Amino acid sequence: MSAGARVLLRGMRLAYGGTLAAEVDLDVAPGEIVVLLGPSGCGKSTILRAPAGLSRPVGGTAEIDGRSVADAATSCAMVFQEDALLPWRSARANVEYALKLRGVPRADRRAEAEEWLGQVGLAGFGDHLPGALSGGMRQRVQLARTLATRPRALLMDEPFGALDAQTRTEMQRLLVSVWQQHRTTILFVTHDVDEALLLADRVVLLSPRPARVDRVVEIASPRHPGAQFEPEFARMRFEILASLADAPAVPGEEVTTP
């Protein structure tokens, strides 16, 4: 997989229903994992959709490797909380569909799809339909399908939010493992402080609507099982929770969409 992309949000302003929803400057380095953290409804998902071209700025720009989102659309891919798999296609066929869109010859798709399923721990499950898989397994298929498009930036909107605690932990570890292999740039949205600390190189704390960057926390501790039980993890967790509690909401101004 090619190296991760640089994602740059430069003075980006986003509106929802005629009201300013977000005003953000953010620079995500190639191969970095940046987590957007804030309370539900603060505008995290709205920001995340901009690099994918799903949220249109009313001011400023969203760029991928210096190009407009429209010109770099194939450089990034989104993963949502709902798996959005094609229920009538097997796990392998779902991944093969992504390979087809990428232009991989039919004769090569099966083997490559099996390779991606193996990377996410689903070797031997290629023939299963999504309805026969658990929620965590479906998310693994979705991750395999997304990675099969070879994106240089991965935009993840609370992808593990609907999973039980044990499965969520497994998926977090899997994501880190896959990232270590491919170094894809990841912009990840969550409202879970522990998840942010376990995944991120940097945690971006957002103020309530309109969403603005309130604080950026550099995460120096290594990612490994049990990290959340270390004193440094507890210290950072307390500081982040305190910052989120103190962040004031600012009344959103009305804007005119161009």
* pLDDT tens for each residue of 1-58: 457 899 999 999 998 878 888 899 999 999 999 999 987 778 888 899 999 888 888 9
* pLDDT tens for each residue of 92-138: 999 999 999 889 999 999 999 999 999 999 999 999 999 999 999 99
Domains of the chain, each with CATH number or no CATH: 7-83+153-246 (3.40.50.300)
pTM of this prediction? 0.89
Question: How buried is 98 (Cβ within 10 angstroms: 0-12 exposed, 13-18 middle, 19+ buried)?
Answer: buried
For β-strands 33-37 and 202-206, DSSP reports them as parallel
Question: How buried is 116 (Cβ within 10 angstroms: 0-12 exposed, 13-18 middle, 19+ buried)?
Answer: buried
Is the peptide bond preceding residue 105 cis, with omega within 30 degrees of 0? Answer: no
Tokens read off for 181 = 């292999």
